[in-house]
Amino acid sequence: NNPQRPFSKTRTTINQLVPAEIAARIKPQAKQEIRKERVIITPHKSFRVLNISSNDWANYSYYNACSLRAVGVEVEGYKLMPHSFGYSEQHPVISKEDMIKKINSGYDIIQIFNSDIMMLHYLTNHKGKVVVYHTGSGYRASHKELNQRFNPVVNKSIIALGEFENLGAKNYTYISVAVDTDKLTVRQQSETINKPYKFLHCPSNAKVKGTDKILKMFAKAGMSLIIDTKILSHEESWKRMRNCDIYVELFNPEINGDKYGSFGTTAAEAAALGKVVVTQNLSKEVYEKYYGDCPLILAEDETDFIRKIKWINALPEKQLLDLQQAHREWAVNKHSFHATGLKLKQALEI
């Protein structure tokens, strides 16, 4: 049996891969009779949102705040520990005492990130809404215990990974990653793309990203892969990704026996840079329910992974460029700060 190609020949154009948004039509309003009557205007309430965590893994809380600000929401964010990646832009680090003061100073919504129970203990006098974000390995391994702690307190839960659906989080919705698509720009038009294509893999954690499996599959395919495990600053890692044609992010179906295989922030960053992204999303039905189609090259298993990287490697330059553009448009249209901010406003009922 011949394996099905990831995309048929009829799906090589940008518009077919990522449909263009249809502009809304504005109909002229009929003239209305002017009536002399008093109109009382009620000012729109300004919601104050506070993002808090001990550690802001992957800068997720900071990018959440950027997304809310992009749609006009007033938001502050703080954390207790600096990030090892040295993000040039991140939440300020404050003391435990200052964090407690902030939490209990009259915000309308407090958002707790990374299932952080310590932050939950600080909610002594807060009268507004509470939202928890379940984002990673802690919730995957201990979701029952964390649900017991958070569900009686929070108004809403946000799951950041599709495999967390139906694990018992209270009143949940799924919101994936957000990236700065204004800073993450594509290659200049004057730059060319030539064969052999450059496949790059730069894991922040080789075990989590499945680096050994990825290397073995490239060897089976008889193809070259550049692997760079050096930990760089966030901005330096972007520069490194600019020097490839295809970014291989992830192949790891499970962690410690629990389902995984979900792309992360790096996949969206690479796509925003205009790279073809090879990764996994084994809970793609959850993603599609909330976001629609995803044009990233998603591998179901090892056979599928090898077949798809061979297919990419055989593409003519023009088709690879079209695919890169489709991945860039996906990042902008679905995972930019503005696009994510609109989803957050709806989820938070602001």
CA–CA separation, 266 vs 284, rounded Å?
Answer: 17
DSSP letter, residue 179: B
Segments of the chain with pLDDT less than 70: 1-45, 188-191
pLDDT of residue 43: 38
pLDDT of residue 44: 42
pLDDT of residue 13: 37
pLDDT of residue 114: 97
DSSP letter, residue 232: -
User: Is the whole-model pTM more than 0.75?
Assistant: yes
Q: Degrees (nearest 5) of the Cα angle 287, 290, 292? A: 70
Helix (H, G, I), strand (E, B) or coil at 34: coil
Among candidate residues 200, 204, 231, 230, the one with its CA nearest the CA of residue 215: 200
**What residues does 200 pair with on adjacent strands?**
226, 247
